[in-house]
Amino acid sequence: MARVKKGCEIWAIGGGKGGTGKSFVTGNIGTYLASRGKRVILIDADIGGANLHTILGVSRPRTSLTDFFERKASLADLIVCCDSSNMGLVTGDLHSIDSGNIRYTQKLRLFRQIRTLETDYILIDLGSGSHANTVDAFLLADKMIIVLVPEITAIENMYHFMKNVLFKKLKISLGSRGFKEFLQDTWRNRTTYGIKNIKELIDYLRKHSTEVREVLDRELSGFRIYLIMNQIRHTSEISIGFSVRSVCMKYFGFKTHYVGYIEYEDLVWRCVNEQRPYLQSYPSSRCAKEIGRIAENLVEGRQIKMTYS
Amino acid sequence: MPGEDYRRYFEILELQPDASFSEVRNAYLHLKRLYSTESIVIHPIANEFSEESRQEVLQRIEDAYERLSALFQDNGSAYTGSRGQPLGPEEAGDVHEHVSFSGETLRQIRQGLGIKLHEIAFATKIRLQYLENIESERFGDLPPEVYLRGYIVNYARCLSLDSGRVARDYMKRYRDWKKKS
């Protein structure tokens, strides 16, 4: 695996629909990296639906992100140990009800502290939905990762999430250069300009001025979402990842990296219900190997190739 | 064509510039199917994109495939189809309409695509020896019929062929041999 040169790398795992296996993927990629000698900290930011600790077989911790937001505790003090000495966990909130109202400054404070943690990788489980909180946190990561299952409802929610992320990205990129109102006006009056989708919006914006075009080209050239297909029941479903990658490029105009897939496996939910960490219980299973490959691909920034289907 | 930007065509087919012809063909068939049929990937955004833009995407895919086919032909590794004719993009899907698939035809198609037998073995997890026996039609050294059919289907998929037809033709040859022996 490649050496991380400066500081740690933050990976955020999100993706619209609930139940696609984000927590399972996060927990097990983390476990894999830790087993390869990397220092890993997992943060369960699925505020209101945190269960990463269950997946890892850790009993419910007493401290959580609530303490960070409400008591201004430092993030480093909230880390609890997992089975592996290389891995720590900050669990999400299970009691605070006002979780939707975390201010942007609070989130920035969280990310500032995340960056100071002494570790190699920080994996943030964002939970489902396309809430502004989730979108913001997703964009602040070094690698944005989506976990998808081969179901039309999951794909639908994923597109919604992606569009929200991309729009927010445009807002941040253009907003900081004084084009916030231009963007909002354009979108509000999109029917007048004949804009039907986000790609046409970007095409329209690019024509505005050289400055806007340069900003967009620069910001979008580095924009990339990493895609994981989970719960594959048939080999033909592997290609859905390639199809989604194609649609993102050709219809939305941004890059995705398809880093791998994980087969559907009954043992997984049995492990989860028994609160046994899957990767440690079945280290040589096919799922475990697929998880390992995904983790390596994410580290290296590689993607899988289409094989004969 | 010197100076022509082939990178662009690889990009349209979502491939790296060092892709082999079989990768080009696979990507082309995949994308063509994706944008010409309704699927769970397209359906949720179908109303956002006009029929026009879909046709435009398809046209670009066709163009890219045509250019890249020509490129591979110039380099001498072209897939010329079993009729000895250069393969046009339109006929790529059903060029073998009038062919009966024997072990030898499969071998020719595979070699035409520039795919090594061990690559097939790797992709299908079929033992190399069996693949050799399939191509040489050493029927006596092949596994029982039920397994064999599965092997043929997987092998045919590797070559982007109509696996049902290939299996039908090949298994007929197998059964004819069985009757005789």
Structural domains in chain B plus CATH codes: 6-74 (1.10.287), 103-180 (1.10.260.40)
> How many Å lie between the alpha carbon of A57 and the closest alpha carbon of chain B?
35
- Nearest Cα residue to A241 out of A153, A287, A305: A305
pLDDT greater than 50 at residue A75: yes
> How many Å lie between the alpha carbon of B48 and the closest alpha carbon of chain A?
6
State the count of interchain CB pairs (< 8 A) between A and B: 60
pLDDT greater than 80 at residue B129: yes
pLDDT of res. B98: 63
pLDDT of res. A111: 86
CB contact under 8 A, A151 and B40: yes
CB contact under 8 A, B34 and A152: no
> How many Å lie between the alpha carbon of A156 and the closest alpha carbon of chain B?
5
pLDDT greater than 50 at residue B137: yes
pLDDT of res. A50: 80
Q: Of the ranges A48-52, A277-281, B58-62, which is most confident?
A: B58-62
Q: Of the ranges A260-264, B16-20, B154-158, which is most confident?
A: A260-264
Beta-bridged to residue A90, according to DSSP, are A43
pLDDT of res. B168: 93
Average pLDDT in the A123-130 region? 88
pLDDT of res. B111: 83
pLDDT of res. A96: 59
CB contact under 8 A, A308 and B26: yes
Q: Does A248 touch chain B (CB under 8 A)?
A: no
Q: Which two tokens stand for residue A302?
A: 């590689």
pLDDT band, residue B113 (cuts 50/70/90): confident
Amino acid residing at B85 = Q
CB contact under 8 A, A243 and B30: yes
pLDDT greater than 80 at residue B66: yes
With H, G, I as helix, E, B as strand and everything else as coil, classify residue B164: helix
Measured between CA atoms, the residue of chain B closest to residue A258 is: B14
pLDDT greater than 60 at residue A196: yes
Q: Which two tokens stand for residue A58?
A: 């850790």
Please work out, in degrees rounded to the nearest 5, the angle formed at the alpha carbon of residue A204 by the alpha carbons of A201 and A206: 110
- Matching residue, tokens 């009757």: B179
ipTM confidence score: 0.86
Burial tier of B159 (Cβ tally within 10 Å: 0-12, 13-18, 19+)? buried
pLDDT band, residue A3 (cuts 50/70/90): very low
Average pLDDT in the B131-136 region? 95
pLDDT of res. A309: 47
| CA A99 from centre of chain | 19
pLDDT greater than 90 at residue A262: yes
Sign of CA dihedral B165, B160, B109, B123: negative
Which of A155, A245, A307 faces B40 most closely, judged by CB atoms?
A155
pLDDT greater than 80 at residue A32: yes
Average pLDDT in the A228-246 region? 94
Q: What percent of chain A has pLDDT over 70?
A: 94
- Nearest Cα residue to B28 out of B50, B60, B72, B6: B60
pLDDT band, residue B148 (cuts 50/70/90): very high
**Angle between helix A152-175 and A239-247 (nearest 10):** 40
Q: Does A242 touch chain B (CB under 8 A)?
A: yes
pLDDT greater than 80 at residue A13: yes
| CA A198 from centre of chain | 21
> How long a stretch of residues is chain B?
181
Average pLDDT in the B122-148 region? 91
Tell me the C-alpha distance between A138 and A128, whole Å.
11
The DSSP letter of residue B139 is G
pLDDT of res. A72: 85
Class of domain A9-300: alpha beta
> How many Å lie between the alpha carbon of B68 and the closest alpha carbon of chain A?
18
Cβ-contact A93, A107 below 8 angstroms = no
Residue B36 CA: distances (Å) to CA of A49, A309, B33, B60, B95: 40, 18, 5, 13, 19
Residue A30 CA: distances (Å) to CA of A247, A263, B125: 29, 18, 30
Contacts of A251 in chain B (CB under 8 A): 45, 48-49, 53, 57
pLDDT of res. B155: 92
- Return left, alpha or beta for B135; rule: phi > 0 is left, psi -120 to 50 is alpha, else beta: alpha
A12-39 core/surface letters (b: 16 or more CB in 10 A; e: else): bbbbbbeebbbbbbbbbbbbbbbbeebb
Higher pLDDT, B79 or B149: B149
Higher pLDDT, B61 or B2: B61
Beta-bridged to residue A124, according to DSSP, are A12, A43
Neighbours of A264 (CB within 10 A): 16
Q: Does A141 touch chain B (CB under 8 A)?
A: no
Average pLDDT in the A248-275 region? 91
Q: Which two tokens stand for residue A138?
A: 């997703």
Tell me the C-alpha distance between B50 and B66, whole Å.
25
With H, G, I as helix, E, B as strand and everything else as coil, classify residue B9: helix
- Nearest Cα residue to A89 out of A111, A58, A113: A58
CB contact under 8 A, A196 and B48: yes
pLDDT band, residue A98 (cuts 50/70/90): low
pLDDT of res. B97: 59
Give the model confidence (pLDDT) of B68-109 as tens digits: 888 887 654 434 333 333 344 334 444 565 678 899 989 988
Give the pairing type, strands A87-90 and A40-44.
Answer: parallel
- Nearest Cα residue to B157 out of B130, B131, B124: B124
Tell me the C-alpha distance between A124 and A8, whole Å.
13
Range from A50-54, A167-171, A200-204, A247-251 carrying the lowest mean pLDDT: A50-54
pLDDT greater than 90 at residue A83: no
Cβ-contact A269, A225 below 8 angstroms = no
